Chains A and B, each alone.
Chain A
Amino acid sequence: MRPCGTFDENYAEDMAIVRTRLQWILLILGLVLLLALPLFISGPIVNLINLIGITVIAVHGLNILTGYTGQINLGQSAFMAVGAYTSGLLSANLGVPFWITLPCAALSTGIVGLIFGLPSLRVKGFYLAMATLAAQFIIPTLIVNIRADITGGVHSLVVPSPKLGGFVLRSSQSMYYIIIPLTILMTFFAKNLARTGVGRAFVAIRDNDLAAEVAGVNVFRYKLLAFFICSVYAGVAGSLWAHWVRAINPDHFTLMHSIWFLGMLIVGGMGSTVGAIFGVVFLRVLEEGTKILGTNMIGLFPTLVGSVQAALTVSVYGLVIILFLIFEPRGLAHRWEMFKASYRLRPFAY
């Protein structure tokens, strides 16, 4: 939707993401603000933003696979576990520096993603969801059991702080400057991927895979590519998680986390890069809110100590996602589009 009176005169202008001077100013101001933020705010909020950044990366990957290509993935957090453990094992046991473990984690997760994407050759829709569900159960069990001596088994694997040059990135403020630039980079890549020929092939497969094949899209190859990209995103997210939390455990990567990733995508709006960010921010902030509420409610119901907080978070998350599925299946991204359209058209009704 273009505002009244703005016209595109050539192809580059038509395709531009940032199109007006005001948008450039806002973008640069926003980026500067984001990078300067840790100087003004306190530790818990920096932690929340770090968590949001890592989750955004994982959900971007899921968005490429599920939102654009239409292949349901119920194992995103298991793929994240692959990335986290690759990164963690390399740096804890071999002392490999962070800037090498990150691409290694991305690559190994990508390969694992390809393996579990193989059933997409024959099945789709619900059946493929089952294959990724299998990944969600098989991967953590393998991590716990296959070489418990190096992965720590059910105990946490302690990961050393990343070092860049002479700096040891121990505080959450310093990790912020690793996580947020990477999040911006991955967002930029996701946004642009959707506008290339590959992205259009993905969308064609989602809308009708038979028709896409007739139109000359190599369906299997592009499905595998989508699985690969999705897993690479999960791997990067997992690697960042490992270096940020510094003690990783298979319990960080359960089916519930995978489903919340899917829920964030639904709340944000599928097939929209900005939607993925909206969904993650909305649900993560909501989670913080229920945590605070839950801490206060323990005082009200002393008999339910311990379980009330977990129960509250799970129920609120579930309820919000259910409400979105029923009343706004296109997610927050759709609302955002409507809002933009309404102010751009002002003072006209349409």
Chain B
Amino acid sequence: MTELLQYIANGFMVGGVYALIALGIVLIYKSTSVFNFAVGHMMMFGAFFCWTFIDAFKLPTWLGLPLCLIGGAALGLLIERLMMRPLIGQPILSSIAMTLVVAYLLGGIAMAIWGVFQRPLPEFLPGGTLSISGVVFSIELVWSFFLALAIFGILALFYQRTRTGLAMRATAEDHQVAQARGISVRNVFGLSWALAGMVAVAGGILLGYQLGVSQYLSLVGLRAFPAVLLGGLESIPGAVVGGILVGILENLVGGLINPWLMDITPYIVVLLVLIIRPDGLFGLKRIERI
């Protein structure tokens, strides 16, 4: 029983980070209808930013972390401006191929700048473990889980309470109508990518903190895609629920059945979701006409 609870708790903690990555994907998908396959590599860039600013340049944490977020936003803006904007109006395959290729281009650039070795991130979260009735939590993981939730909360507030958030929701609803109401759809696209870049960097730092910074981080990002599909592509709460569900499922399957199944559980979930309920738990139903 304790064992079972432990797997669920681990899954919850990993799921928090998955949810954060999924959130980065949903942010872009909602307003631009582009699925960002490059999110894993953007995360990896974020973690490398963090290593560069804090470990290599020896900046203090309070200065280094905001710089990472700014770097992430700049990365998102650059990708949007240089690579995604020329593809507006092209078939969906172009945008899918573009984000995939951008992912590997980022990987290549990161490899050229930072090399292939794994680097540890400096410690800025309290360490140690916490035990609640036999279930052990790593304090770092708890911290990163709640940080992920906090970022989610801030974004939800931003979407619901600010004028810019309103403009972004309007754009998600309909590009033309939004434009007719005086919203600059172009700026909203840029802003979505910048926000998603910041979220990806935050996710990357949290993950890199646990796993060390290396090319491997981008693969973890790939495992957040199932979370997005499970939750529904357009839904922000869906990203969170999906992320946590996928985290718990893969830990349960890995722990109770066979460890190697852990790696492919998210993708088996994808296949099942696609066959049984393609729109995900909270996604919008698509109706098509000729």
Contact = CB atoms under 8 A, between A and B. Distances in A.
Given A314-B104, A322-B102, A322-B105, A134 B271 contact: yes
Contacts of A314: 104-105, 107-108, 111
Contacts of B93: 66, 70, 72, 270
Contacts of B87: 325-326
Sorted from nearest, which 9 A-B pairs have the closest CB atoms? A318-B105, A314-B108, A315-B108, A134-B267, A311-B111, A311-B112, A119-B274, A145-B260, A326-B86
A142 B264 CA distance: 9
12 contacts: A70-B93, A134-B270, A134-B271, A137-B263, A210-B290, A259-B101, A270-B93, A313-B108, A322-B101, A325-B90, A325-B101, A329-B94
A307 B94 CA distance: 29
Interface residues of B, number: 40
Contacts of B289: 210
Contacts of B278: 119, 122-123, 127
Contact of A318 (B101, B115, B258, B268): B101
Contacts of B92: 72, 125-126
A311 B121 CA distance: 23
Interface residues of A, number: 54
Nearest to B92: A125
Contacts of A70: 93
A318 B101 CA distance: 5
B83 A322 contact: yes
- Majority DSSP secondary structure for residues of B touching A: helix
Contacts of B77: none
Contacts, number: 127
B290 A307 contact: no
Given A137-B263, A141-B264, A130 B104 contact: no
B112 A127 contact: no
A138 B116 CA distance: 25
B56 to A, nearest CB: 14
Interface in B98-142: 98, 100-102, 104-105, 107-109, 111-112, 115-116
A326 B104 contact: no
A96 interface: no
B166 interface: no
